Amino acid sequence: MKIKKFNFKKVNSTNNTAIRIIDKSKIDYGMVVSENQINGKGQYGRNWISYKGNLFVSIFYNIDNINFSIKKFTKINCLLVKELIFKFFKKEIFLKSPNDLLINKKKVCGILQETILKDNKRFLIVGIGINLIKSPNIKKYPTTNLLEILNKKIDYKIMVNELKLIFEKKISKF
């Protein structure tokens, strides 16, 4: 299974852009990548703080023939993103339920899922934000970024391509 990649310089939200692509096309598997997002979505209607240079991606796929609960999808998608980060950081990465990834007890990644229905097809949209070079200052919730942890910058394009390969390989098994 191949995921079609859509690259943008700037979007309001990668999830909202994915929804528009689903609405206007016949594509069942896609990936929205943006260098910057102005109004990223977080859990419970919060905003995702989007610093330029961090990773903003939404992957969408048709889930009609997959019999998992949304809770199961959440766990699977978190594990796939954890697999990506582990390619660069070979120590423990913790999953803080339901959808955050932590390194050294600090948030490095957030994942937001949404489902939509289009032409009687169900789609799951997986919004992924990874702090690559800068982390937000969130009261009572420590954050970090991979540059701070690794003392080296990760090539953004390599990370995007690795993420695409991981999802293509794993989703096709469902």
* CA atoms in the 13 A half-sphere facing the CB of 103: 21
CA 26, distance to chain mean position in Å, is 22
In angstroms, the CA 44 to CA 173 distance is 31
Residue 125 near residue 114 (C-beta atoms within 8 A): yes
Identify the CATH number of the domain in which residue 23 sits.
3.30.930.10
CA distances from residue 142 to 1, 100, 108, 126, 139 in whole angstroms, order as listed: 37, 12, 9, 23, 8
Q: Give the phi and the psi of residue 63 in degrees, each rounded to 5.
A: -115, 20
pLDDT computed for residue 17 by the predictor? 97
Q: Are 109 and 128 in contact (CB under 8 A)?
A: yes
Q: How far is CA 124 from the centre of its chain?
A: 12
State which residues of the chain have pLDDT below 50. Answer: none
Task: Tell me how many domains the chain contains.
Answer: 1
Give the pLDDT score at 174. 74
pTM of the model: 0.93
Give the pLDDT of residue 40: 66
pLDDT attached to residue 142: 94
Bridge partners for 10 per DSSP: 36
- Distance in angstroms (rounded) separating the CA atoms of residues 42 and 98: 12
pLDDT for position 160? 96
The whole domain housing 143 covers 4-171
What proportions of the chain, in percent to the nearest 5, are helix, strand and coil? 30, 35, 35
Structure tokens at 35: 């260098």
